[in-house]
Chains A and B, each alone.
Chain A
Amino acid sequence: MALPGARARGWAAAAKIAQRRRHAEGARGSSSRAPPSSRAALYVHWPYCEKRCSYCNFNKYIPRGVEEAAMRSCLVTEAQTLLRLSGVRRVESVFFGGGTPSLASPSTVAAVLEAVDQAAHLPADSEVTLEANPTSAPRARLAAFGAAGVNRLSIGLQSLDDTELQLLGRTHSARDALQTLAEARRLFPGRVSVDLMLGLPAQQVGPWLGQLRTLLGCCDDHLSLYQLTLERGTALFTQVQWGTLPAPDPELAAEMYQEGRAMLREAGFRQYEVSNFARNGALSTHNWTYWQCGQYLGIGPGAHGRFVPQGAGGHTREARIQTLEPDNWMKEVMLFGHGTRRRIPLGQLELLEEVLAMGLRTDVGITHQHWQQFEPQLSLWDVFRSSREVKAQLAQGLLLLDHRGLRCSWEGLAVLDSLLLTLLPRLQEAWQQRTPSPVQGG
């Protein structure tokens, strides 16, 4: 338990020095000259929570006691195995998500980071994010995560209203949230994000905007606004179905979203993705990788990954899902070195569909250069220029197609799912009609 932690402090210390350098370079300055297939982001899933939140349908468990040493060793093993399989030489970001990863020991985090750095290269200025829940006495623990190598915090604040927090089944109070945020900013200046939910049952626009205003007075440079999705199987879903809670009003949620994003824009935030806002260039590089369809490995129970298993001789990108249930996952990792449950090869069209659907979530959308990396033959112009329905969306000012590429307008971003219902079939159609590329000889 002590050993990996001690070694990791070495990496963490180096990372600290590198961070200062990194500030000068800007958020996305980390683009390396290494080919995309040798780079990846890494997601680490910590599946345990203290308590079940009423809205959450993620893969999480409320354990009586966590065998942390075993868990740690399995995460380390799986990271090593998948890095080897992928042939990835350079990990550009790590994200500890969950569950509640802030319940894990800082030494576990350190051990994983150390293993990653050993198996592949984890540059000192890589973004290492930890999802943390607000607590009443956060300081010492957050500092320990910092020492373990975490350099960015994402705080699950969710609301600044105690009644709402209770409704959501959160264990913290609004006061805890603000205190944790303040401590986090002191420890990770410029590297703290907060989540705020909108569209809760009975939530009204005015008070919610009040929360956002309060938050703007004390937040750091990154903020996420999430509309509540009622997921089947959650307590909230059941309550709404039984009528004990009013169903969230989509009209009000839309208004909160529009007013909220306008307020953030005024405060100097860039909406760089549907739900994500940053100022001073504090974008999350890890999530950016998802939206740009970069490679990522997922370790831990139920984690998802998308990468080419080059180390095992593969040439096709695969969608991979790890075994959901922690005990089974651990058994598999101990037996096989990894707990991959499903591997689904992604066809070229499927990949392009993901490039389209994910890329349009960002403010820059899909640049021609970006698209070309995935599809050199069929340009964005080829696909979308002639479609009558796409033209209608362009004319309506929801979508833009120009020399930069294809992207949503401010209004279009809010209705992207509707736009995609036209764009995806159009892409499929264009793909089927494309002139087949010359058959490779040999």
Chain B
Amino acid sequence: MWTPVSRGRWHGRALTVWATAAAHRGLLEPRRTPSRGAAAKSRTLDRLYSSADRKEKIDMSRFSVENTRNFSIIAHVDHGKSTLADRLLELTGTIDKTKNNKQVLDKLQVERERGITVKAQTASLFYNCDGKQYLLNLIDTPGHVDFSYEVSRSLSACQGVLLVVDANEGIQAQTVANFFLAFEAQLSVIPVINKIDLKNADPARVEKQIEKVFDIPSDECIKISAKLGTNIERVLQAVIERIPPGVIANVALFDGVVSKGDKIISAYTKKTYEVNEVGVLNPNEQPTHKLYAGQVGYLIAGMKDVTEAQIGDTLYLHKQPVEPLPGFKSAKPMVFAGMYPIDQSEYNNLKSAVEKLTINDSSVTVHRDSSLALGAGWRLGFLGLLHMEVFNQRLEQEYNASVILTTPTVPYKAVLSSAKLIKEYREKEITIINPAQFPDKSKVTEYLEPVILGTIITPDEYTGKVMMLCQARRAVQKNMMYIDQNRVMLKYLFPLNEIVVDFYDSLKSLSSGYASFDYEDAGYQTAELVKMDILLNGNHVEELVTIVHKDKAHSVGKAICERLKDSLPRQLFEIAIQAAIGSKIIARETVKAYRKNVLAKCYGGDITRKMKLLKRQAEGKKKLRKIGNIEVPKDAFIKVLRTQPDK
């Protein structure tokens, strides 16, 4: 029985599931071969790299809890987390020393391209120290906040972390966010200053920053160069000395034994499964006879759907129920966007691609949706913006699907006052995902919007500009401190919708790329929200209804009107494009009528060409959506609705 690994505390007879998604990516897909039985076999397992002989079943009873360390590496983007992981794997003989060991734990194309880790990975390192053999479980985590669910999941399985900081760039926003995640989880933090080989490295300055921001004595910092392999041994020693022993798992065995044929029950779903196989990963799955308490591994138990393998769930033996272990919560989507095939004929292909990808990434929520302009599609919920981009990129790269992704929105809430509505919804507080469902002001006590606590670290010369930007985004300053002589750390409470579209790009461009940003969920706050309609010659355009904060209505309305103006073709009459709140017009643009639209020359030779052109245009006209008597090409909607491409 098995349980979530909570800081070495021993719990009775339970087993925890985590990193399910990682397991699925690694294992389910190759498993689509008939010989291994297809997706019906769902797995809950660990990704365990090990130097042990891969041919034989490993006897996992060799490693006691005392000789096991579970740790993570956390760092800001590009501070060298994955490179350090490569060196640790090499040093412990887990992987061969070759030139090709570049970010071996980053398997996805998107991870290598963006230099980020999206899926948490695990590697088991076997290391000899003072005559004792240690099992060091390294859990590689995604660095970005969007994946902080995976980060905290990884951390919950650890007793300590290596906090990697670039000796040149110093502490960045993500460093701070990740540190506090670890700190709140009461983990041992080992600061590692990386890239000391760089010309502009200033480890002394970074030591001072660490002391000031994290209150860690500077002599605890280990100065390394992961690239050159300098001081890596000291990192391993610190892991053994400073991190308390503990257990780790995709399935972490907290007590007892699990083996093939056991009947197990999920505390979350209450479903019963029969265990078909147990084993460890090195890095491919390696069946073992059994898994013992304190060990990690995978388990095949005939789960049919990825949602059955909930991360953080507690599994226990049939007829031996236990209290579910703490730390379980399902991932909550924070950013929603519509996803549509570019051509409706692609719907089924896209559907199967989305299904496959969500098997892989259960944190994406999927609801069918349809738009008059864009046809049938889905409303997808993501953990954050990067998560959304990564999902889209994986669709394109791994499934060759190209899609229209609409501008992201956030989940607003409304506290209902209308008894009728409360009855209808069966609750007082509702979440509004689709703007069309926005309840009228007369029927609500208040509207709520999600907020986040953002951390910005910037060279002080940009402080003024950054503060202006934050103010323009309705952010409230919570804290400001110098982390060294010329770097400032700012904390702001932001409405989430103010950062979902282009905040990060704006921040980067106004600071010449030097400011860094990270955020964490901070609940909901009251907000004056309004529903904004877009009208074409007085006709409502359903697909462009937008929920917006009152203070932003004018600028958002104006931007939509302008984008429509640029993409609506001229017609035989004037078109008034208006943004309205109720009956009040707040922005207007005009598309003038055609004054001349006739080809000058049209003699003999031109006729065939001219007729072809006219017929093609007439054919295209049939496909246009009519709003009143105005013909709106799909492109116009796409240009207004779709997320703006990266600059």
Interface residues of A (CB under 8 A from B): 43, 225-229, 250-251, 253-255, 257-258, 274-275, 287, 290, 296, 298, 302-306, 319, 321, 344, 350, 353-354, 357-358, 361, 392-393, 396, 398, 413-422, 424-425
B603 cross-chain contacts in A, Cβ below 8 A: 287, 290
A-binding segment of B34-42, B89-97, B303-311, B592-600: B592-600
**Given A298-B605, A396-B573, also A424-B598 (CB < 8 A):** no
Instruction: Please tell me which one of the listed residues A225, A227, A228, A304 contacts residue B608 in the complex, with CB atoms under 8 A apart.
Output: A304
What are some 5 contacts across the A-B interface (CB < 8 A)? A254-B596, A274-B600, A357-B607, A357-B611, A425-B622
Instruction: Please tell me which one of the listed residues B596, B599, B611 contacts residue A229 in the complex, with CB atoms under 8 A apart.
Output: B599
A-binding segment of B444-452, B580-588, B613-621: B613-621
Does A417 contact B599, Cβ atoms closer than 8 Å?
yes
Does A415 contact B614, Cβ atoms closer than 8 Å?
no
Does B604 contact A354, Cβ atoms closer than 8 Å?
no
**Given A398-B572, A421-B614, also A43-B596 (CB < 8 A):** no
Does B601 contact A275, Cβ atoms closer than 8 Å?
yes
B572 cross-chain contacts in A, Cβ below 8 A: 393, 396, 398, 415, 418-419
In the bound complex, CA of A196 to CA of B274 (Å): 87
B188 cross-chain contacts in A, Cβ below 8 A: none
In the bound complex, CA of A424 to CA of B610 (Å): 13
Interface membership of chain B positions 568-580, coded 1 if the CB is closer than 8 angstroms to chain A and 0 otherwise: 0001110000000
Q: Which residue, of A305, A416, A417, has the highest number of chain B Cβ atoms within 10 A?
A: A417
Does A254 contact B595, Cβ atoms closer than 8 Å?
yes
Q: B629: CB under 8 A from chain A?
A: yes
* CB-CB nearest in chain A for B599: A417
* CB-CB nearest in chain B for A305: B604
Does B614 contact A302, Cβ atoms closer than 8 Å?
no
Does B595 contact A304, Cβ atoms closer than 8 Å?
no
In the bound complex, CA of A95 to CA of B424 (Å): 78
In the bound complex, CA of A147 to CA of B471 (Å): 84
Instruction: Please tell me which one of the listed residues A250, A287, A321, A350 contacts residue B596 in the complex, with CB atoms under 8 A apart.
Output: A250
What would 9 more interface pairs be, CB under 8 Å, given A254-B596, A321-B605? Answer: A227-B596, A229-B601, A392-B629, A413-B598, A414-B595, A415-B572, A417-B617, A418-B597, A420-B614
Q: Which 6 A-B pairs have the closest CB atoms?
A: A254-B595, A304-B605, A254-B596, A226-B600, A416-B598, A227-B600
Does B607 contact A354, Cβ atoms closer than 8 Å?
yes
Does A415 contact B598, Cβ atoms closer than 8 Å?
yes
Does A303 contact B597, Cβ atoms closer than 8 Å?
no
Q: B204: CB under 8 A from chain A?
A: no
Distance (whole angstroms) from the CB of A34 to the closest CB of chain B: 21
B600 cross-chain contacts in A, Cβ below 8 A: 225-229, 274-275
Residues in B612-634 with C-beta less than 8 Å from chain A: 614-615, 617-618, 621-622, 629
Does A255 contact B595, Cβ atoms closer than 8 Å?
yes
**Given A274-B602, A275-B601, A415-B572, also A425-B621 (CB < 8 A):** yes
**Given A227-B600, A287-B603, A415-B594, also A421-B611 (CB < 8 A):** no
In the bound complex, CA of A208 to CA of B599 (Å): 19
A251 cross-chain contacts in B, Cβ below 8 A: 595
Distance (whole angstroms) from the CB of A420 to the closest CB of chain B: 5
* CB-CB nearest in chain B for A275: B600
* CB-CB nearest in chain B for A344: B608
Instruction: Please tell me which one of the listed residues B571, B596, B610, B611 contacts residue A257 in the complex, with CB atoms under 8 A apart.
Output: B596
Does B604 contact A290, Cβ atoms closer than 8 Å?
yes
Q: For chain B, what secondary structure do more than half of its interface residues adopt (helix, strand, loop), or is it mixed?
A: loop
Does A424 contact B596, Cβ atoms closer than 8 Å?
no
Does B594 contact A304, Cβ atoms closer than 8 Å?
no
Distance (whole angstroms) from the CB of A349 to the closest CB of chain B: 11
B607 cross-chain contacts in A, Cβ below 8 A: 290, 304, 306, 319, 354, 357-358
Number of interface residues, chain B, beta carbon within 8 A = 26
Instruction: Please tell me which one of the listed residues A304, A415, A417, A420 contacts residue B604 in the complex, with CB atoms under 8 A apart.
Output: A304
Q: Which residue, of B573, B602, B607, B629, has the highest number of chain A Cβ atoms within 10 A?
A: B602
* CB-CB nearest in chain A for B592: A251
In the bound complex, CA of A303 to CA of B596 (Å): 29
In the bound complex, CA of A255 to CA of B594 (Å): 11
**Given A358-B607, A398-B572, also A253-B596 (CB < 8 A):** yes
Does B621 contact A415, Cβ atoms closer than 8 Å?
no
Distance (whole angstroms) from the CB of B578 to the closest CB of chain A: 22
A424 cross-chain contacts in B, Cβ below 8 A: 614-615, 618
Distance (whole angstroms) from the CB of A210 to the closest CB of chain B: 20
Instruction: Please tell me which one of the listed residues B595, B597, B608, B622 contacts residue A417 in the complex, with CB atoms under 8 A apart.
Output: B597
In the bound complex, CA of A354 to CA of B597 (Å): 18
B595 cross-chain contacts in A, Cβ below 8 A: 251, 254-255, 257-258, 414-415
Distance (whole angstroms) from the CB of B573 to the closest CB of chain A: 7
A306 cross-chain contacts in B, Cβ below 8 A: 604, 607
In the bound complex, CA of A413 to CA of B605 (Å): 21
A413 cross-chain contacts in B, Cβ below 8 A: 598
**Given A357-B610, A424-B615, also A258-B596 (CB < 8 A):** yes
Distance (whole angstroms) from the CB of B591 to the closest CB of chain A: 12
In the bound complex, CA of A266 to CA of B611 (Å): 33
A304 cross-chain contacts in B, Cβ below 8 A: 604-605, 607-608
Q: Which residue, of B571, B573, B604, has the highest number of chain A Cβ atoms within 10 A?
A: B604
Distance (whole angstroms) from the CB of A183 to the closest CB of chain B: 26
Does B618 contact A421, Cβ atoms closer than 8 Å?
yes
B601 cross-chain contacts in A, Cβ below 8 A: 226, 229, 275
B597 cross-chain contacts in A, Cβ below 8 A: 414-418
* CB-CB nearest in chain A for B631: A421
Does A296 contact B596, Cβ atoms closer than 8 Å?
no
Does B598 contact A414, Cβ atoms closer than 8 Å?
yes
In the bound complex, CA of A415 to CA of B595 (Å): 7
B608 cross-chain contacts in A, Cβ below 8 A: 304, 319, 321, 344
In the bound complex, CA of A344 to CA of B609 (Å): 13
In the bound complex, CA of A304 to CA of B605 (Å): 5
* CB-CB nearest in chain A for B601: A226
B617 cross-chain contacts in A, Cβ below 8 A: 417, 421
A254 cross-chain contacts in B, Cβ below 8 A: 594-596
Does B596 contact A420, Cβ atoms closer than 8 Å?
no
In the bound complex, CA of A150 to CA of B622 (Å): 48
* CB-CB nearest in chain B for A360: B598
* CB-CB nearest in chain B for A413: B598
* CB-CB nearest in chain B for A43: B604
Distance (whole angstroms) from the CB of B599 to the closest CB of chain A: 6
Interface membership of chain B positions 4-47, coded 1 if the CB is closer than 8 angstroms to chain A and 0 otherwise: 00000000000000000000000000000000000000000000
Does B618 contact A361, Cβ atoms closer than 8 Å?
no
A296 cross-chain contacts in B, Cβ below 8 A: 604
In the bound complex, CA of A228 to CA of B597 (Å): 13
* CB-CB nearest in chain B for A298: B604
Does A420 contact B594, Cβ atoms closer than 8 Å?
no
In the bound complex, CA of A396 to CA of B571 (Å): 13
Does B629 contact A415, Cβ atoms closer than 8 Å?
no
Instruction: Please tell me which one of the listed residues B571, B605, B611 contacts residue A303 in the complex, with CB atoms under 8 A apart.
Output: B605
Distance (whole angstroms) from the CB of B617 to the closest CB of chain A: 6
In the bound complex, CA of A305 to CA of B604 (Å): 7
In the bound complex, CA of A298 to CA of B610 (Å): 18
Distance (whole angstroms) from the CB of B539 to the closest CB of chain A: 15
In the bound complex, CA of A127 to CA of B611 (Å): 27
A319 cross-chain contacts in B, Cβ below 8 A: 607-608
In the bound complex, CA of A421 to CA of B615 (Å): 8
A302 cross-chain contacts in B, Cβ below 8 A: 605
In the bound complex, CA of A275 to CA of B572 (Å): 20
B571 cross-chain contacts in A, Cβ below 8 A: 418
Residues in B550-583 with C-beta less than 8 Å from chain A: 571-573
**Given A298-B605, A393-B572, A425-B621, also A417-B611 (CB < 8 A):** no
In the bound complex, CA of A392 to CA of B573 (Å): 11
In the bound complex, CA of A420 to CA of B572 (Å): 12
A396 cross-chain contacts in B, Cβ below 8 A: 572-573
In the bound complex, CA of A253 to CA of B596 (Å): 8
Q: Which residue, of A225, A255, A418, has the highest number of chain B Cβ atoms within 10 A?
A: A418
A226 cross-chain contacts in B, Cβ below 8 A: 600-601
Distance (whole angstroms) from the CB of A418 to the closest CB of chain B: 5
